[in-house]
Each structure stands twice: as C-alpha cells, then as structure tokens.
Structure 1
C-alpha cells in the first residue's frame, strides 16, 4: 500500500473558492504512469501535481483527469506553496525539474513568482466554425504549439461568452485561449477552454499566460501587466516579460490537507 500526502490548494487566489484548485501529492518516486493518471482522474481537478524530492530540488509532473501535460502554471504555484509553507517552512525559493526544463519559483511576502519559458505564437488561419463555436467574431487569431488564441474586441465580450465546448474539442489544438483588452484595473482579460484535455474551462491558466504576456506586452508597450482570467471562479495574475521569459505572480490558499492510501 502507498500512503501519499495530498494538499489541495487554490492557486492565483487570495481567498478560498477562487482561483484554480490543484492537488499536490508528495512521493518518494513516481509511480507507474497509469496509476498517476488514475489518481488524477479520481482527484477530478484540472491538474494534479506529483512531487518527488531530488537533492535540494523537486521533480514535478502534471496530470489532468485525462492526460499528462508538459507545463502547468497553477499547479506549479500550488506546489511551491506546499514546499515553502508545509514541507520546508521558511524556504524562499525552489527549483522544479520538469518536462519544460527547470522552473524557479520564489516567495515574496504572501505571493509566489514563477519564472517560465515564453511561448512563441504566429498569425493563424481561424479553425473552421470558430466564430460559431465562440458566439463571437475574433478580430485576430494566433496559434502556438499548444493552443489557438482568439483576440476579441473587448473584455465584456470575453466575460459573456457561452461557447460550444463540443465544437472546441474538435479543433486541431489542445486548447483555445480567448483574450481582449482589459477593463479597469486590468491590462487584459482572458478565458481558456481545453475540453480535449478533459478541462471544459480552466479557471486560471499559467501556461496560456506564457503566450499572452509577450502578446500584450508588445501591443501595450509595457513589460509588467495586470491580468484577469474571467472564469466563474476568476483569478488575478501579475505578468512580467523578463529576459525573454515570463514571470507569473500570484497568491495561494490551502483548502485541504490529508493522505491517500492506495
């Protein structure tokens, strides 16, 4: 039997029941991939992060309920909170070894700052029936290796979307980011739909902001931006473009702590 500590943390949140919940599970080694996937499906959160100590660093993997992913922002933020508030109180920086390379997270008072690779995007031909799926006509469509990015005219249009999730699932990218210039006090707003990964709508998405940050930095001519992901739960991020990489800053709130016996 494996007895595994589990923490459930609301990431990119300053209060409970906001931001994006992630499970963080500490192991002495990674179990079989099929078992990790079953655990993530049982947790039934957008992401489950699996942590394995490795010297003064940690190895980190992320699973949605249906698949392993190469990068997850909110579950990395949650993992940093677990390390620095529960496993090693007083620690102010941690490096996670991951499929996306080493990811550094540092603590600043009540928040955490992640340093992530930026994502390159290009202008793209809109997927068939994109406007019908969204119920809105994009003013611009971009793509990176993971997602389409649909730029809409204003924040209210983004907030009011009620898209056809089944149609989005048929697109030839794993997810669809929708964004627009922000309404005060935000520089930009966004939403993220990834039904192909078992996530109809993700509450707050760090990975999407790895592309959104350089996009809006170029258009707004500023390198520090205040962003809001306008899901039902909602979440705030401070985004910075630093030396060609992206810093994402947010707070975390612990919801649950326990053990899983498998």
Structure 2
C-alpha cells in the first residue's frame, strides 16, 4: 500500500485544536487497508474521496474498527480538501456517502476554510427506559437528566441532556459496560450535552467505544441531531464546544430552518489543512 494522506484539523475553536482527520484519494484499496489509515497518522477517522466526476463526489468513512455510514467532521475535512483542490475561494458541491447526499460548501483559502453541510433527514424519538437506563448507568450519571432521545442520520445514537456543565465535565464512564450496552442496543454511541443558553451556546461530549473511539473530539452529526431536537424548543442556532476533556478544543455550529416537523439542519465548523503524509 502506498498512499498520500492529507491531514486536516476539523472543527477548530478560534484556530486551535480540532479533530485530526485523515483525507485520502480513494482507489483500489481493501477495507482492511482503509482501516489502518486513521491509526497510521494519529487520527480517529479517515475519509476516502472518489472525485473522478466533479458532479458526483463520493465519500467513505473508516475508523480502525470498520466503516461508518457517516462522519460529520470527516465531511467538514473533505470539503476543506475539495475547496483547496478547486483553487477557488468558495467550493460548492453535493457529496455522496454510502447512504445519503450531502449538499455542502467551504469558504476560504491558503489551507484555512469554513465548511458546512446538510446531513439529511434526522430520525428522532424519545428513548425508552430500556434504552436510557443502562446507558445512564454506564455513564455513571447520578444527577437529574433533562431528557434522552434516540437520533439518527444514518446510524442511531443516544442523546442525553444534562442540566449543568459540571456534571458533564465530571463524567467518567465505565467504557467496557458502555460498549457492551451500545452494542446490544445497536447504537453508535452516546452524545451528552448541556441544556443550551438562550443564545444557543452549549458544551457536549461524545462516547463511542463500539467504533473504537472512547471519546470523540468533535462530532458534527450528533450536533446536528441535537440541533433538530432543540429546534422544537426555539433554538434555531447552536454553537457546541467539545474536546476540552481531551485537551483538543473543538467547536461546531448548527442552523435549523424549515418547519418543526421537517427541519433542515446545516452543521459545520472551521478546518485547517495541517500536513501531508506518505504511507507505504
């Protein structure tokens, strides 16, 4: 295997941190080879771009454990790389994952971009007691929980709303138990966030040991899911900070338009192309 890997810091906060993401021009690779890429460059995820036809850019997302149907910060990273390749200050395109079409854009130059995309329809429902209780137990949440919902943009995950930031900061999940529970419930993981302030600012943490990511630095698709839910309570815009517990500050923004029954969510963040690696 000989690959050129572009490394992107996706969803930075004020030019710092972000989630290290590998971006690769896809080719005749096995899935086993694709799974090796994130670890080889110190990233949690890799996105593989097939862009032979500019009108039909296709993306595939991999962690070290396998393929994902979607990856939000991976899509942000891909948009940044496509914008740089275009040579223009603005790139617009419709990207295609294995399950969805993702209209998106990136604005910027010199390796620094602001990117956003629409993840598509979001399935959302209240969690059952049988779903929420074992995950809350694995999270070791003892404080009152404001609500739990199951949301999906390709794969379901549990959204857990907490009332205060200190409870979120203090979380120390039992990872083996959390992995076993999310595996049993066929959930991607658990996105825990704090009830946002009136201006839509909040903080979150994402735990996904079942896909080899005990805690994610940035999770744009889960942020989009939370935005769809919170829009029913009057929050049309969110700004979500993540990654502080890992020393990698990240920020995502989400905007919700459309009717309450069929919200249209656009989610994104800033991205910097930080380097390139050659893998043999």
TM-score when normalising by structure 1 = 0.88
**Alignment partners' CA distance in 2, 1:216 and 1:81:** 28
Q: Secondary structure at the match of 1:96?
A: strand
1:122 to 106, 115, 125: 125
Any idea what SS the aligned residue of 1:12 has? strand
Cα RMSD (Å): 2.2
**Structure 2 portions without partners, runs of 5+:** none
1:42 matched to 2:40: yes
8 A Cα contact 1:42 1:65, kept in partner = no
CA deviation after TM superposition for structure 1 residue 77, in Å: 0.6
Report how many aligned residue pairs link the two structures.
257
Matched with 1:227 is: 240
- What corresponds to 1:236 in structure 2? 251
Q: Is the aligned partner of 1:107 residue 2:122?
A: no
Instruction: Please give the residue correspondences for 1:53-68 in structure 2 after superposition, counting only pairs within 5 Å.
Output: 53-56=51-54, 57-68=56-67
Which runs of no fewer than 5 residues in structure 1 stay unpaired?
A: none
> TM-score of the superposition, structure 2-length normalised?
0.83
Give the 3 Å change call, closer, same or farther, for CA 131–181 of structure 1 in structure 2.
Answer: same
Confirm or deny: 8 A CA contact 2:139 2:171 kept in the other structure.
Answer: no
Farther-moved stretch of structure 1 (226-235 vs 244-253): 226-235
Deviation at 1:164, TM superposition (A): 1.7
Q: Check if 1:133 corresponds to 2:139.
A: yes
Displacement of 1:123 after TM fit? 1.4
- TM-fit CA distance, 1:7: 0.9
> Hey, what's the Cα distance between the residues in 2 that align with 1:23 and 1:192?
20
Note if contact 1:188-1:216 (Cα within 8 Å) is conserved in structure 2: no
Partner residue in 2 for 1:191: 205
Residue 159 of structure 1 deviates from its aligned partner by: 2.3
CA-CA distance at 1:76 after TM superposition: 0.9
Measure how far apart 1:178 and its partner are. 0.6
Greater shift after overlay, 178-187 or 149-158? 178-187
| 174-183 vs 204-213, greater mean Cα deviation | 174-183
**Equivalences for residues 202-221 of structure 1 within 5 A:** 202-219=216-233, 221=234
Provide the rounded CA distance (Å) in 2 between the counterparts of 1:182 and 1:189.
8
8 Å CA contact 2:138, 2:175 repeated in 1: no
- What is residue 257 of structure 1 aligned with on the other side? 276
- 1:144 and 2:151 are equivalent in the alignment: yes
Kept after mapping to 1: 8 A contact 2:227/2:235: no
Provide runs of 4+ in structure 1 moved above 6 Å.
none
Alpha-carbon offset, residue 95 of structure 1: 2.3
